């Protein structure tokens, strides 16, 4: 099980504190994930361009900048990888700026690894569910589009057949109007030469005679 997860899931750790990054890396490896460790932002940008990362763990202060630079880069490149920021301080301004730019959690050192991993798992589960919902929405929109396209084609076909059937009766004026929920049934209403309306229903499915009589009865005869 872990070997299968390791082939698919990558967590990027960005921290120049070798001891801390190694501790986190070893712990995450034990949970069945691959870990990519970077010592600065430049290395992180390079790894992001090569791998599909599931989660980024970054120390706020980096040798070549801060976590805010990484967040700006992710926003510019439209990368939606979730980010957790790790910091030695609880500076309110830094925390606020991180959340404004899309960080999903902020962890203060020293880190309790078990609690930290519980947060990571909850975050990964939420992101996975959001991704599945997005895929399902796309699939649903595709199915609705195909359904609408097939109904439009069916309407056009039936209207074409109706027009072909009535071209030889120039004295009959008819029209065909599709229902909101198209099912292939046709109801034709026309005007006879004597001025009377007539109704010609044609159904794909079995319909009660009383229903047809009711439909016909709703159209009053016209004076000749």
**By percentage, how much of the chain surpasses pLDDT 70?**
66
* Choice among 112-116, 124-128, 171-175 with the minimum mean pLDDT: 171-175
Residue with tokens 């001025």: 195
Q: What is the pLDDT of residue 40?
A: 94
- Give the pLDDT confidence score for residue 205 in this predicted structure: 44
What pTM was computed for the model? Answer: 0.58
More confident residue, 120 or 170: 120
Q: Which of 23-37, 141-155, 206-220 has the lowest mean pLDDT?
A: 206-220
Give the largest CA-CA distance in the chain.
100
Extended strands (E) in the chain: 10-14, 34-38, 55-59, 61-62, 65-66, 83-87, 105-108, 173-175, 186-191, 197-202
- Beta partners for 11? 35, 55
How many Å apart are CA 74 and CA 56, to the nearest integer? 11
Judge whether residue 109 has pLDDT over 90: no
Joined together, the tokens standing for residue 134 give 């997005």
For all residues of the chain together, what is the average pLDDT? 75
At 214 the pLDDT is 44
Least confident of 37-51, 73-87, 167-181: 167-181
Rounded to 5 degrees, φ, ψ at 217 are -65, -20
Assess whether pLDDT exceeds 70 at residue 212: no
Question: Alpha-carbon distance 224 to 221, whole Å?
Answer: 9
pLDDT at residue 218 in the model: 47
User: For position 93, what pLDDT does the model report?
Assistant: 79
At residue 223, the pLDDT reads 42
Residue 89: Cβ-neighbour burial (10 angstroms; 0-12, 13-18, 19+): exposed
Given a cut of 50, whether residue 81 has pLDDT beyond it is yes
d(CA 107, CA 116): 8
pLDDT score of 156 more than 70: yes
Q: For the residues 32-46, what does the mean pLDDT come to? A: 92
Q: What tokens does 32 get?
A: 């069945």
Q: So what's the pLDDT on residue 210?
A: 43
| Two structure tokens written together for 190 | 């026309």
């Amino acid at each position: 099980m872990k070997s299968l997860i390791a082939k698919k899931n990558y967590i990027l750790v960005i921290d120049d504190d070798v001891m801390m990054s190694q501790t986190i890396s070893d712990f995450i490896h034990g949970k069945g994930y691959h870990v990519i460790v970077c010592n600065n932002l430049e290395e992180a940008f390079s790894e992001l361009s090569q791998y599909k990362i599931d989660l980024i763990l970054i120390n706020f202060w980096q040798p070549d900048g801060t976590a805010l630079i990484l967040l700006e880069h992710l926003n510019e490149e439209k990368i939606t990888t979730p980010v957790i920021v790790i910091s030695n301080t609880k500076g309110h301004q830094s925390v606020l700026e991180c959340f404004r730019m899309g960080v999903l959690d902020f962890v203060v050192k020293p880190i309790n690894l078990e609690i930290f991993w519980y947060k990571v798992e909850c975050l990964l589960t939420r992101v996975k569910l959001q991704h599945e919902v997005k895929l399902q929405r796309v699939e649903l929109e595709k199915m609705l589009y195909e359904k609408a396209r097939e109904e439009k084609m069916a309407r056009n076909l039936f209207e074409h057949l109706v027009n072909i059937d009535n071209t030889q009766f120039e004295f009959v004026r008819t029209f065909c109007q599709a229902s909101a929920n198209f099912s292939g049934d046709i109801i034709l209403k026309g005007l006879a030469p004597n001025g009377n309306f007539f109704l010609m229903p044609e159904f794909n499915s079995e319909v009660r005679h009383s229903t047809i009589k009711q439909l016909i009865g709703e159209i009053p005869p016209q004076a000749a």
